[in-house]
């Protein structure tokens, strides 16, 4: 029964190959299954989830006020030295000297989007933005100052 | 002039070696040749460098050269606080980043003696199993591509992408999530998490037979995988193999079963064991393990307890003086995290026992005497992730 | 009627009226040469875009879709890129052989074009041993691959070339035997006569099971002969990076690439000619009306339709199956295909003697 076994073997092999070809043939004829996203074309409809960690930003309200007290918690929490807080002395309403942030320097090129700074911030001054197209031609552009020029700390945030 | 005599002797020695009548160096015959596979080669999936001694198509020796992506993660961790060092471990075995983070978080929690809320435990296990499926999906596609079948790669990526989307929604990133923190997880689950996981399981179940049609049952695939790279159970133990590589040889080594952590001891799942020890057994272990992961997720997805997702810990963590060790089952095997603490805010020493390193060491043993094409299949089934090996 | 043969005849008449016979021959040769080269370029462009689209759809992707409508001009852009790329010759290479190899691959592919009947009465050279010519010339292909592999002075290339040598030489056998099955049935080696013999039905239909087996063997063997997956061991990117053309770049690489696709076209054209009736339309027995409709479709469309169907089949193989190992590849030939096609040839001979076909 050598011949029979030989033929059975061949038939089994051919059947297994045909099964695979049926699968690829199915996808060849069913274009609805295509999962490609045409990225630069679908920018308008591209919805990133609100938790997506793209870059650190500092939200400002309409009076150009932010919530950062300059407590340096984010600077300490950052594993890579991405954030640097630079202070200035400011006179408050009563004429007293008060420490406030001059610049909150953020190095996007060092950031690994680990979210530890946002977790550490006690006053919710910074958050993650959903941007992801970070390519620039000059690496200096990646060093960002998060607070707007002339911005102040919001009233009531300690 | 005794020193001169020594030099003269050495000179004579070299002359004898260069003599063509002298027997060739042991193991390297006249018809042999050495080829370098990697550090840039399509089959090595990274920067692994294999120096292969070949006799025609037959492999005589394989010598892995490591270190092309060594970033001294262990040393780096010594200067990072216990909260910070976890994120670095995502970069070791980037395909199961979540499970790496889990091991570190477990170790820190062991030192801090904190209880994890049940909700956080369930979330961690769910994420681990999703990561395991994602990792195995990528392995499946990449291994099929090593064997020359390109199409399953894209089909496997379809399922993997839907897991990545779930991760992106809940953790905020697709690959290096950094979702685990000491004491729990960083955020609560996204409101649509349960529904999306259910959708994914439906997708997976409707597509899983395709892999059988295209790979498992395929006669060419079976011929390429069966009786290739046979690793006996004894060798698997003596080389320190873990994970699917060892379970393919019939060695029971699932940390989830043997040293249960989190809530694994309350879950129903099987430890997948195959006894063949060849590439096909390792393949089958991973394919069946995906189904076990699905089984675990099915048990948990409707029973996520309410409550906190994180225990409040101090802002600055300090581990007591001592040594701490934790182990978890990653997609590749057993990952051990060993922390030596001097009571400071940063660890004194950290050692990672990465599964890839031990699994790679077996390559020379199983590859000897097989064909060059088989080496690619073996490397595929060992599921090597090079940053995990080099760290 | 407007057809290729009418155009060819009118050109010939016009030339004979205006020039003496020697000049006529020379001008006709130049025209044929230009036509073959432009057919080459066209085939390369069409087959590359076809392969990319077929693979994309099988892999649930969109494929090239940026250059031109639905990405149809993608291969044109690729060609432009390859043309302006630097053609590097490695320092340790045998420069003469290294640069010669792609041209030999090309010349072989061009020679193979000669006996193929593209349409009714439209053939470059209807020599009386057409089929033998094809199988003889196609074996020269292996020389160019060996030459490229050896001259590159690269171990990957050398291994790819050696694999390819073993592979092509052994698969020639079963390809030749399955071609012989048709030759035995027809009693002629001439391409035009083989096509003529299929006027009342293609060989794959009127030859019963043995002819079907011969056809399947032929398809498997030519897939291996043209170094395409699942038999692409000579290139095997996951093992040998790119096999025998690892060191080639720019236009020299493009020539190898083009030669591969033209070879695929040629073997499929031979397959269509031998088994599927070449340019013969599809007829069913006594259905006069149906047969009449089929006759209206031009013969060139029949030929190219059948050829492209076979090409699609070979592409389908490529994007479904994993690659074989070298020893399995040779096992398949020597333990399965060769005995089967030998026994098959015996049966076919008996059938031809006893007249058991239609």
Inter-chain CB pairs, A–C, below 8 Å: 36
Q: What is the structure's pLDDT at A158?
A: 64
User: Across all residues in chain A, what is the average pLDDT?
Assistant: 83
Q: How far apart are CA B225 and CA B241, in angstroms?
A: 19
Q: What average pLDDT does the segment B268-280 reach?
A: 86
Q: What is the structure's pLDDT at B4?
A: 56
ipTM of the complex: 0.82
- The answer to whether residue B29 neighbours chain C at the CB level (below 8 Å) is no
Please give, one letter per residue, the 3-state secondary structure of chain A.
CHHHHHHHHHHHHHHHHHHHHHHHHHHHHCHHHCCCCCHHHHCCCCCCCCCCCCEEECCCCCCCEECCCCCCHHHHHCCCCCEEEEEEEEECCCCCEEEEEEEEEEEHHHCCCCCHHHHHCCCCCCEEECCCCCCCCCHHHHEEECCCCCCEECCCCC
Is the pLDDT score of B2 beyond 60?
Answer: no
User: Across all residues in chain B, what is the average pLDDT?
Assistant: 84
Q: What is the structure's pLDDT at B169?
A: 87
Percent of chain B scoring above 90 in pLDDT: 1
The residue written with tokens 């003529």 in the block is C196
Q: What average pLDDT does the segment B204-219 reach?
A: 86
Domains contained in chain B, CATH given: 73-390 (1.10.645.10)
By 3-state DSSP, what share of chain C in percent is helix, strand and coil, each rounded to 5? Answer: 70, 0, 25
Pairing assessment for the beta strands C122-123 and C117-119 based on DSSP bridges = antiparallel
Q: How confident is the model at residue A137 (pLDDT cuts 50, 70, 90)?
A: very high
Q: Hey, are the CB atoms on B181 and A17 less than 8 Å from each other?
A: no
Model confidence pLDDT, tens digit, residues B284-327: 999 889 888 998 998 888 888 888 888 888 878 888 888 889 88
- The answer to whether residue B192 neighbours chain A at the CB level (below 8 Å) is no
Q: Which two tokens stand for residue C269?
A: 């054209």
- The answer to whether residue A53 neighbours chain B at the CB level (below 8 Å) is yes
Q: How far apart are CA A146 and CA C1, in angstroms?
A: 77
Q: What average pLDDT does the segment B77-91 reach?
A: 87
Phi-psi region of B307 (alpha: psi -120 to 50; beta: other; left: phi over 0): left
Q: What is the structure's pLDDT at B18?
A: 44
**Cα dihedral sign, B29-B35-B39-B42:** negative
Closest residue to A79, CB basis, from B80, B170, B219 = B80
Q: Which two tokens stand for residue C227?
A: 């170094």
DSSP, collapsed to helix, strand or coil, labels residue C247 as: coil
How far does the CA of residue B342 sit from the closest CA of chain A (Å)?
20
Q: What average pLDDT does the segment B171-183 reach?
A: 85
Main-chain phi, psi angles of B274, to 5 degrees: -125, 150
Interface test with C, best of B151, B156, B226 (most C CBs within 10 A): B151
Cis peptide upstream of residue C250 (ω within 30 degrees of 0): no
Other Cβ atoms less than 10 A from the Cβ of A30: the count is 11
Q: How far apart are CA B187 and CA B306, in angstroms?
A: 14
Q: How confident is the model at residue B26 (pLDDT cuts 50, 70, 90)?
A: low
Other Cβ atoms less than 10 A from the Cβ of B7: the count is 10
Between CA C164 and CA C173, with CA C169 as vertex, the angle to 5 degrees is 140
By 3-state DSSP, what share of chain B in percent is helix, strand and coil, each rounded to 5? Answer: 50, 10, 40
Percent of chain C scoring above 90 in pLDDT: 0
* Cα distances (Å, whole numbers) of residue B14 to B23, B32, B257: 13, 22, 57
Q: Which two tokens stand for residue C98?
A: 């290294």
The residue written with tokens 């090597």 in the block is B384
Q: Which helix (H) or strand (E) holds B336?
A: strand B334-341
Please give, one letter per residue, the 3-state secondary structure of B298-326.
HHHHCCCCCCCCECCCCCCCCCCCEEEEE
Q: Hey, are the CB atoms on A24 and C60 less than 8 Å from each other?
A: no
Model confidence pLDDT, tens digit, residues C288-344: 777 777 777 777 888 888 889 999 988 888 888 888 888 888 888 888 888 888 888
Q: How far apart are CA A80 and CA C130, in angstroms?
A: 73
Q: What is the structure's pLDDT at B20?
A: 47
- The answer to whether residue C317 neighbours chain A at the CB level (below 8 Å) is yes
Q: Hey, are the CB atoms on B148 and C322 less than 8 Å from each other?
A: yes
DSSP, collapsed to helix, strand or coil, labels residue B129 as: helix
């Amino acid at each position: 029964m050598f011949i029979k076994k030989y033929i059975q073997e061949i038939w089994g092999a051919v059947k297994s190959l045909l099964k695979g070809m049926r699968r690829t043939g199915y996808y060849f004829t069913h274009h609805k299954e295509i999962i490609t996203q045409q990225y630069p074309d679908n920018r308008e409809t591209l919805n990133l989830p609100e938790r997506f960690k793209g870059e650190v930003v500092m939200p400002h309200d309409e009076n150009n006020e932010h919530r950062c007290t300059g407590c340096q918690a984010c600077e300490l929490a950052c594993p890579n030295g991405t954030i640097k807080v630079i202070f200035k002395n400011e006179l408050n309403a009563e004429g007293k000297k008060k420490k406030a942030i001059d610049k909150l320097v953020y190095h996007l090129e060092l950031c690994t989007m680990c979210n530890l700074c946002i977790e550490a911030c006690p006053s919710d001054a910074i958050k993650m933005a959903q941007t992801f197209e970070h390519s620039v031609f000059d690496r200096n552009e990646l060093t960002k100052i998060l607070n707007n020029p002339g911005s102040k700390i919001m009233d009531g945030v300690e | 002039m005794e020193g001169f005599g020594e030099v003269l002797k050495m000179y004579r020695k070299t002359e004898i070696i260069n003599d063509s009548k002298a027997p060739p160096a042991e193991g390297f015959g006249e018809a042999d040749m050495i080829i370098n596979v990697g550090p840039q080669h399509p089959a090595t999936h990274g920067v692994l460098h294999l120096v292969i001694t070949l006799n025609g198509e037959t492999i005589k020796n394989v010598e892995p050269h490591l270190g092309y992506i060594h970033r001294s993660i262990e040393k780096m961790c010594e200067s990072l606080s216990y909260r910070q060092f976890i994120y670095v471990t995502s970069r070791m075995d980037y395909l199961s980043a979540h499970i790496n983070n889990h091991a570190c978080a477990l170790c820190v929690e062991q030192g801090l003696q904190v209880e994890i809320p049940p909700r956080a435990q369930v979330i961690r296990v769910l994420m681990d199993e999703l990561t395991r499926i994602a990792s195995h999906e990528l392995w499946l596609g990449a291994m099929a591509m090593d064997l020359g079948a390109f199409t399953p790669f894209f089909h496997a990526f379809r399922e993997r992408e839907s897991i990545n989307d779930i991760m992106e929604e809940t953790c905020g990133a697709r690959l290096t999530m950094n979702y685990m923190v000491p004491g729990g997880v960083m955020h609560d689950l996204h409101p649509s998490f349960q529904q999306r996981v259910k959708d994914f399981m439906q997708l997976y179940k409707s597509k899983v037979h395709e892999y059988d049609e295209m790979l498992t049952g395929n006669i060419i695939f079976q011929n390429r995988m069966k009786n290739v790279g046979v690793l006996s159970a004894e060798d698997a133990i003596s080389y320190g193999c873990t994970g699917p590589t060892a379970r393919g040889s019939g060695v029971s080594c699932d940390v989830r079963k043997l040293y249960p952590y989190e809530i694994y001891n309350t879950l129903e799942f099987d430890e997948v064991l195959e006894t063949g020890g060849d590439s096909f057994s390792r393949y089958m272990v991973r394919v069946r393990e995906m189904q076990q992961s699905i089984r675990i997720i099915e048990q948990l997805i409707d029973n996520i307890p309410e409550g906190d997702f994180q225990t409040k810990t101090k802002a600055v963590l300090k581990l007591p003086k001592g040594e701490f060790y934790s182990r978890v089952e990653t997609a590749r095997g057993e990952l051990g995290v060993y922390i030596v603490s001097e009571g400071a805010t940063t660890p004194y020493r950290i050692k990672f026992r990465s599964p890839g390193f031990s699994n790679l060491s077996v390559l020379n043993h199983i590859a000897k005497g097989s064909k060059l094409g088989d080496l690619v299949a073996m490397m595929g089934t060992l599921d090597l992730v090079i940053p995990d090996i080099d760290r | 009627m407007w057809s290729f043969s009418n155009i060819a005849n009118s050109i010939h008449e016009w030339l004979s009226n205006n020039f003496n016979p020697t000049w006529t021959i020379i001008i006709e040769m130049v025209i044929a040469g230009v036509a073959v080269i432009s057919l080459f370029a066209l085939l390369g462009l069409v087959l590359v875009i076809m392969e990319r689209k077929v693979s994309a759809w099988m892999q649930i992707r969109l494929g090239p879709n940026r250059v031109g409508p639905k990405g149809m001009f993608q291969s044109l852009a690729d060609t432009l890129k390859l043309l302006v790329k630097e053609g590097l010759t490695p320092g340790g290479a045998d420069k003469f052989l290294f640069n010669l190899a792609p041209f030999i691959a090309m010349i072989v592919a061009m020679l193979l074009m000669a006996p193929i009947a593209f349409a009714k009465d439209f053939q470059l050279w209807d020599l009386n041993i057409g089929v033998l010519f094809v199988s003889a010339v196609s074996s020269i292909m292996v020389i160019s691959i060996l030459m490229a592999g050896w001259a590159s002075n690269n171990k990957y290339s050398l291994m790819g070339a050696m694999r390819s040598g073993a592979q092509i030489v052994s698969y020639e056998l079963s390809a030749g035997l399955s071609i012989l099955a048709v030759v035995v049935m027809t009693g002629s080696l001439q391409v035009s006569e083989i096509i003529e013999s299929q006027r009342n039905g293609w060989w794959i239909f009127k030859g019963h099971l043995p002819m079907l087996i011969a056809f399947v063997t032929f398809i498997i063997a030519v897939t291996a002969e043209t170094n395409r997956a699942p038999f692409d061991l000579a290139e095997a990117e996951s093992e040998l990076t790119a096999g025998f053309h690892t060191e080639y770049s720019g236009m020299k690489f493009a020539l190898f690439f083009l030669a591969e696709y033209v070879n695929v076209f040629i073997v499929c054209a031979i397959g269509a000619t031998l088994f599927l009736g070449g340019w013969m339309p599809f007829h069913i027995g006594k259905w006069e009306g149906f047969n009449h409709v089929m006759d209206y479709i031009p013969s060139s469309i029949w030929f190219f339709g059948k050829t492209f169907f076979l090409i699609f089949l070979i592409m389908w193989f490529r994007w479904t199956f994993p690659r074989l190992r070298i020893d399995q590849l040779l096992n398949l030939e020597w333990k399965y295909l060769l005995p089967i096609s030998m026994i098959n040839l015996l049966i076919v001979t008996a059938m031809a003697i006893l007249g058991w076909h239609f």
